[in-house]
Structure 1
Amino acid sequence: MIRTLALTFLLLAPSLASADSPPDPAAGVAAKPQKQHSARVQRKLDYLASLTPDGEPKDCLPITQVESTRVLSDSAILFKMRGGKLYLSKLPYACPRLGFEERFSFKTSTPYYCSIDVITPLDNRLQEFGSCPLGVFQPVKPAPKS
């Protein structure tokens, strides 16, 4: 059994290595173009890039004052407060599937979203995908429309 596995690996290793290796420029093989973002993802990334700081960051936001949340990427969530103020939480590291699924669960024993709290991305069947800490809440404003 071990010999069969070793032989299979040896036979597949050259093809696996070539699939992951960058193309050899001397061989005349053109590199594959980078995959483009979908229009929706690009709009979210453009909006994220347009946000500018608008005050001092906060460690917590009262849950009862949060009107809505909008996932902008795997590492950024926008919190819209009652009254229209916006806060951006940049997660300390990318949270896999968060940007794709655009929804998360949150459990707390306090009435606040805090930067030390953890969120869990959810798919459309409410299946969980790991957990990720929130970042501080930076007040932001979008760039003026031209």
Structure 2
Amino acid sequence: MRANQCLTVFAAIAAIGSTAPLQARDRLSGEARLAKMIEGRTAGKPVDCVPITQIRSTEIIDHTAIAYTASNGTIYVNRPSGANFLDDDDILVSEPYNGQACRIDIVRLIDRGSRMPSGSVGLNDFVPYPKPPKPPKAG
């Protein structure tokens, strides 16, 4: 390898190495990510259960909560006991017994890379954050 090729390789490695701390620093905390997700919404009265048929998607928010998005746009936030086990790179495995996700359920976490169990958490109340109403059209 020529000297100027080596310099190019080292420069590329240095550039990659220098961006890693920036990416880690720019990543939002779990609380900040949750706040951004529910921004502009108002919390409703907590509920014990959410029917599985209404849930369109789920998202683990690192060390904070699980967000269940319903088909009507409502985001149900569950802050489980043991939230420190939540890793946004884990796969959430739930086994509802009555067609609902409920506050007494325990959900398992599977490491996405190794496919090994990485923990479990007990669900608490689901706090609904309905989609804000659309402003009336002018005219």
**Counterpart in the other structure of 2:12:** none
Q: Is the 8 A contact 2:74 2:131 kept in 1?
A: no
User: Where does 1:45-84 land on structure 2 (aligned, <5 Å)?
Assistant: 45-50=31-36, 51=38, 53-84=42-73
Deviation at 1:40, TM superposition (A): 6.9
TM-score by length of 1: 0.62
Stretches of structure 2 that go unaligned for 5 or more consecutive residues are: 1-20, 133-139
Q: In the aligned structure 2, how far is the partner of 1:58 from the partner of 1:95?
A: 23
**Counterpart in the other structure of 1:115:** 103
Q: Is the 8 A contact 2:66 2:78 kept in 1?
A: yes
Q: In the aligned structure 2, how far is the partner of 1:76 from the partner of 1:46?
A: 12
Q: Is the 8 A contact 1:103 1:123 kept in 2?
A: yes
Deviation at 1:141, TM superposition (A): 5.5
2:99 maps to amino acid: P
- Residue 128 (str. 1) matches residue 108 (str. 2): no
1:137 maps to amino acid: F
2:56 maps to amino acid: E
- Residue 38 (str. 1) matches residue 24 (str. 2): yes
Q: Is the 8 A contact 2:31 2:64 kept in 1?
A: no
The two structures, once aligned, show a CA RMSD in angstroms of 2.8
User: Which of the pair has more CA radius of gyration?
Assistant: 1
Q: Identity across aligned pairs (percent)?
A: 25
Off by >3 Å, runs of 4+ in structure 1: 50-53
TM-score by length of 2: 0.64
Q: In the aligned structure 1, how far is the partner of 2:124 from the partner of 2:75?
A: 15
1:130 maps to amino acid: G
Q: 2:33 is paired with a residue of what secondary structure?
A: helix
